[in-house]
Amino acid sequence: MKIRVYYEDTDCAQVVYYANYLKYMERSRTEYMREKGVDIVEYQKKGCHFAVVDAHLKYRMPAKYNDLLDVDTTVIDISGATVTFQTTITNEAGVLLVKGEVKAAYLTQDGHAGRIPQEVYRALGGK
């Protein structure tokens, strides 16, 4: 997905504030799941959702005010209860700015870890 860097995303040096990359990654994960046919809202209505349990980012180069970023997310691992997403963020020139991994656990209505529903598991690449 494409994300434009707005002034509100930057610090006083007009580079993206480091925590905002997590927001970009969240948006990309949501769109990735939507493209795979996973309607997150339907699961939330049932009281079930994914919660981030681990996140790692490697900052290589800064994004700056008005840059157009390409935020690309894929699933690199999926188990019965967790899914690990990898996201790369590049600028218009294709330069890698940030690479990150986020592991999310599937939580049931009672807030405990549960098994990812089969249709979600398959949609995200589980076999």
Per annotation, catalytic residue among 9, 11, 67, 72: 11
Residue whose structure tokens are 């949501």: 30
Read off the amino acid at residue 11. Answer: D
Active site residue 67: no
**3 state DSSP class of 34:** helix
**3 state DSSP class of 82:** strand
Contact in structure between 78 and 20 (CB atoms under 8 Å) = no
Contact in structure between 114 and 51 (CB atoms under 8 Å) = no
Question: Which residue numbers are catalytic?
Answer: 11
